[in-house]
Amino acid sequence: MKHKYQLIYNKLYEHYGPQRWWPAETPFEMMMGSILVQNTSWRNADKALDNLKPFLKPEAIDYLSIDELAHLIRPSGFFNIKAKRIKSYMKWFKTYNYDIDLIKKIDRHQLRKELISIQGIGPETADVILIYAFDIPIFVVDAYARRIFYRLGYDMPESYDEFRKQIEKDLPMDLMLYNEFHALLVEHAKEHCKTSPICESCPLFGLCDRRLA
């Protein structure tokens, strides 16, 4: 019998198909998007990314002042805070000469620790960057994952890392699986498992305890 988490993944994949995330043209654009999307919708983050298009190279972002950067990313909200976060990230990225292949050679635990130590980069953003920019398989815990697993009937740990580890211990360390799993959970939360869920035709209906409280 397939494990419960693998079964959830399989049903979502069969229903929605491959999501082919992250929606970005380059790994660097993905990194910027992961910061811009904090505490806002992807639509707003995408508007900010459009403004950044002429500057979507590390050296160009590094050259911009914080005020110039904040003005460009204004559509993402909290733009002054996010400008500082991007600058902090760039300071770290520059220590590796903006070399993604070099960063991929770092021990995954050490790399995650370094990312989380950057001002404004919490575990969720760090893990999104790990999987979608640096090709490191890891489960991303976000509000959508918490909502879906709670409604399915799982009492997942409150701790971010304990939640993540509970999922990972029962799944193979497969990059594509984790890449798709996060994207599929986001899609499912938008299509069916909304704040007010649409249970009709839900691909997980037969597995769900429908805990809505």
179-207 pLDDT, tens digit per residue, is: 999 999 999 999 999 999 999 999 999 99
Amino acid of residue 84: K
List pLDDT tens digits, range 112-121.
999 999 999 9
What pLDDT, on a 0 to 100 scale, did the predictor assign at position 213? 66
Mean pLDDT (whole number) for 67-73: 98
33 and 106 in a single domain? The answer is yes
105 and 144 in a single domain? The answer is no
What pLDDT, on a 0 to 100 scale, did the predictor assign at position 212? 85
Contact 200, 9 (CB under 8 A): no
* Averaged pLDDT score across all residues of the chain: 96
Neighbours of 19 (CB within 10 A): 18
Name the one residue in this structure whose structure tokens are 């790399």.
Answer: 111
126 and 71 in a single domain? The answer is yes
Mean pLDDT (whole number) for 139-168: 97
Instruction: Determine, yes or no, domain membership for 213.
Output: no
C-alpha 13: how far from chain center = 18
117 and 181 in a single domain? The answer is no
How far apart CA 151 and CA 140 sit, in angstroms, is: 18
How far apart CA 89 and CA 98 sit, in angstroms, is: 11
Q: Quick one: CA torsion of 179, 185, 191, 196, rounded to 10 degrees?
A: -160
What pLDDT, on a 0 to 100 scale, did the predictor assign at position 38? 96
pLDDT band at 1 (very low <50, low <70, confident <90, very high): very low
63 and 96 in a single domain? The answer is yes
| End position of a domain, from candidates 132, 153, 168 | 132
What's the half-sphere exposure (Cβ side, CA atoms, 13 Å) at 165?
6
In percent, how much of the chain has pLDDT > 70? 98
Structural domain tally of the chain?
2
How far apart CA 202 and CA 180 sit, in angstroms, is: 18
pLDDT of 77 above 70: yes
Neighbours of 160 (CB within 10 A): 16
Mean pLDDT (whole number) for 131-139: 97
Amino acid of residue 114: E
Contact 167, 177 (CB under 8 A): no
What pLDDT, on a 0 to 100 scale, did the predictor assign at position 3? 66
What token pair was written down for 100?
Answer: 């993604």
Instruction: Determine, yes or no, domain membership for 188.
Output: yes
pTM, rounded to two decimals: 0.95
Mean pLDDT (whole number) for 54-62: 96
34 and 120 in a single domain? The answer is yes
Q: What is the CATH number of the domain that holds 199?
A: 1.10.1670.10
pLDDT of 144 above 70: yes
Q: What is the span of the domain harbouring residue 47? A: 27-132
What token pair was written down for 28?
Answer: 């660097």
